[in-house]
Amino acid sequence: MGRLDLVAIEKVAKRFGSERALAGVSMELRGSSMCALLGHNGAGKTTLLGVLSTLVRPSSGKIAYRAGGKDVTGEDVRREIGMLAHQSLCYAELTAVENLELFAGLYDVRDANIDALLDKVGLDKRARHRASRTYSRGMVQRLALARALLTRPSLLLLDEPFTGLDRGGALALGEQLGEIKAQGTIVVVVTHDLEAIAGRADHVAILRRGSLVFEERGDAYSYETLKDIYHRHAN
């Protein structure tokens, strides 16, 4: 199965009981693009990422995942998704290497170069064989990123990826995301740190109370433009 190059979100709505989290969101995510999914807390960004990740079932509407014009479904979709969530999605009792070995096995990734990946995300060599419960917030975030990148996903979903990183770390991560995008990956970033994605995000979508109130594609947006768009449409 090939890499995903198009994700079409069609009138996706999600309710949790009487709470409306998403109200008929439609948009397309394309390969080699970085979508900055913005909005205030409670706007529905995390729910949309959940639906995109296949772990939240939409109340109505659907998402079509395509690779080379063909629909991709089920386990083949999940194989292509990398996710960095609010929590690390890693086992605290296992070391960084053990965590990545576990997930490499679950994803059937046979040629995973775990040390190179941990070098890439900047996880200290001495910490790699220590239980991850001993890590600082920033180290946990680096491990979580390594887990998300381990499978070379073609759809990378990132929920506040810069949390816990210092300014240098956040900018370096932003740079890495730019490289990942350039390799053909669909990158979706939920963040309030507009500076870290400035110059890389080329697709902006703003959610307000579950509705898509703004969507635009362009060249890589500057920090000022992103800030301006956010303040004009998120409020």
Partner 1 sequence: MSLFRQAARIAWKDLRVELRSKEIVATMIFFGALLVVIYSFAFPHDDKAVRSSVPGMLWVAIAFTGTIALGRAFDRERENDTMRALLLSPVPRLAVFLGKAVAMAALVLSVAVIVTPLLALFLDAPLFDYAGELALVVVLGALGIAVIGSVFAATLLKVRSRDVLLPVILYPLLVPLFVAGTKTTAALVQVHPNTEAAWYWIRFLGIYDAAFLVLSLWVFESLVIE
Give min distance, CB of 155 to partner 1, in A: 11
* For partner 1, the closer CB: 79 or 227: 79
Sequence-distant (6+) residues with CB within 8 A of 126 are none
Residues near partner 1 (CB under 8 A) are 16, 50, 53-57, 75-76, 78-79, 81, 83, 85-94, 98, 102-103, 105-108, 131, 147
Give min distance, CB of 11 to partner 1, in A: 19
* For partner 1, the closer CB: 32 or 59: 59
For 154, the token pair is 């073609």
* For partner 1, the closer CB: 106 or 182: 106
* For partner 1, the closer CB: 128 or 233: 128
Nearest Cα neighbor of 234 from 201, 204, 189 is 204
For 139, the token pair is 């180290």
Give min distance, CB of 187 to partner 1, in A: 17
Give min distance, CB of 218 to partner 1, in A: 31
Core vs surface per residue 7-32: b (16+ CB within 10 A) or e: bebeebbbeeeeebbbbebebbbebe
Q: Is 155 helix (H, G, I), strand (E, B) or coil?
A: strand
